[in-house]
Structure 1
Amino acid sequence: MDFTGLGRFTAYKLNRPLTAQERSGKLELDKPASAEPLDWLSVIKINSSYLELVDRWYSIRGFSAWMGLLLGGAPTAAAVAFFLSAFGEDDAAMLLSVIAIAIIFAILAVFGWYGFFLDCFRKTHYPIRLNRRTRQVYAFRPDGTVLQAPWDRLFLCAVKNELTMWQTSEDVRAHVLAEDGKTILDTFTLAYPTLGDRAGLMRLWEYIRRYMEEPDGVEKNYRLTETCMPVDGRREGLVFGLVRTFAPYVKWPIMQLLASPLWALTVVGRWLAMSTSKVPVWPAEVEAACQVDPGDPYQKDWRQNGKYGFYELGWPAICFVVGLAVVVASIVWLLSALM
């Protein structure tokens, strides 16, 4: 899982110079990046005034919730049990051993709960809004504040992130630079394609670039966008959480079935994360600067989404039930084996 920029340990590094990779990966606003733009299920809404996108962490919501609950809950119970067993222990060596084990479990629990709170009791998402008319960009930070910067003064670049377990990811990073033109004062991820390689990233970047730069960018993007994320002023529901979790592998139904226990847990975790988090609200001054003309022919949000087909919802629902059944059966078997 890629949590780059989210949380204490993966926060963006600021007040530093641009790296060689960032300078070489600079993106030009007047140069098309792909012949096949794609929104990668990133759009919340689009109109002639602005384009609103989800953040880089939206697609993976849910995984950290259930994993953190598992890795935090079990060690917490074990730590409490060992601490309680230490009371009344007369043997000094045994007492120290029990306390040491309890401390180890407590440390493991801290890491588990850290992961849980990366997903839960936060914002449902951290939207990014690009105003085509005023050329301003607004982005919610993980702490709930809003970054504002002129589109034409952002330093935009494609970067590769080194993750754990020898994994990598790629995204388009937007930097706010100091007057010296090389020191990063603030930053956010503008484009992040789930499971996308560099070519996929460039397709998403071209979708964004075209909207902001091309005379017919609004019309073309409006026609290209088929599904908007249903989080405009509302929480994502359980049904769409199911659709979104299974969506990256919609062309591989057998893989969806094989991975269904993992993704069933992620769907439940995603629902928990959304249910405990607050819906972000743009400041009044941002909304005032982003007025949409009455009768704008290029308005689109989740209300215009079509009906989901069998492979978008029906098959994922079957996989969810199968996966959840496997999880429940595994828990019952494990408990019976321990008792």
Structure 2
Amino acid sequence: MELIDRWYSIKGWWTWMGSMIAAPCLWAMATFGLMGIERNDPASWIFTIFVFLFSGILAFISLSMVRTEAFRQTHYPIRLNRKTRRVYAYRPDGSIIAVNWDDLFLCVVENELTMGQTSYDVRAHVLADDGETVVDTFTLAYAYLGERAGLMRLWEYIRRYMEAPDGPQQSYNTTEICMPINGRKEGVVFGLVRTFALMVKWPALQLLASPLWALTTWGRWIAMATCKVPFWPAEIEAACQPDPDDPYRKDWRSNGRYGFWELVWPAICLVVGSLVVLTGVVWLVEFMWGAFE
């Protein structure tokens, strides 16, 4: 079984947010730099240096936000081998951790987020020989919205696969959709579907929040286009080959067709949201351009 990392679901968020902050900062640096050269007086140069320092720091921070998603890996897979009892996890730095399932110390961790929000994840600790010292750790399971109830359902799904006698059959029957990312990048269509999936049960809210989700969709497309697909080393692939006649084999090819509410409606919301964002950007550029004329 292969799982996705905790960052995959929201990929695109930091890309558009960082880009929206970096763009005016870079614009300010270019504009006031030309202004300082044109006027060429001490007061203008002092102000230009101040703008460069302030905008440069903001641009660096915002571009670092973009870098957390773009020009990296499309995702960071976690692979569970039920037969060999091994767990393999890709890490953001490109390294891979391999450990025995039965040697992991598993616990639920509560994370304090911004604005008083809380998320939960199942953390897998690798212990030293003393059984107490943590020498390595990674996130094994993370619910999309971070709620504890959803996390525990996901954990039970993983636990049964690894420990229940009929684990593969249970997983096969429970899995409704597989991410189309094994050895490939997700397509443009799935990127749209995945982004708007958060509110698939509330189409009216999808339309209301369409500017936000449109930005995230564009950010996701950009981030995915700049990222590389992760590949497991040959020895891991060799150890995890499924049987040719495995009756519980399932991947993205087993997914059904998207319906109106899964694809067509998000596409409509994307167009509406993009037009709203574009209108706002045009207005802002005209306002800022007029302010400096």
TM, length-normalised to structure 2: 0.95
The alignment status of 1:214 with 2:164, answered yes or no, reads yes
Query: Map of 1:1-339 to 2, 5 A cutoff?
Result: 51-87=1-37, 91-338=41-288, 339=290
1:261, 1:137 → 2: CA distance?
Answer: 39
Give per-residue Cα distances to partners, 1:165-194, cap 9 Å, x unaligned: 222211101111112222221111111111
Amino acid at match of 1:322: V
Structure 2: which 5+ residue stretches go unaligned? none
* SS of match in other structure, 1:294: coil
Mean CA deviation greater in 226-235 or 94-103: 94-103
Give aligned pairs, total: 289
* SS of match in other structure, 1:149: strand
1:90, 1:334 → 2: CA distance?
Answer: 28
Structure 1: which 5+ residue stretches go unaligned? 1-50
Partner of 1:48: none
Retained in 1: the 8 A contact 2:16–2:216? yes
The share of aligned pairs that are identical, in percent, is 61
CA RMSD of superposed structures (Å): 1.4
* SS of match in other structure, 2:114: coil
* SS of match in other structure, 1:287: helix
Shift of 1:80: 3.0
Mean CA deviation greater in 265-274 or 68-77: 68-77
Amino acid at match of 1:227: I
1:250, 1:90 → 2: CA distance?
Answer: 56
Partner of 1:42: none
* Richer in helix (by share): 2
Q: Which has the higher contact order (CA 8 A, sep 6+)?
A: 1
* SS of match in other structure, 2:115: coil
Residues 1:168 and 1:314: Cα distance change in structure 2 (over 3 Å): same
Partner of 1:7: none
1:154, 1:84 → 2: CA distance?
Answer: 58
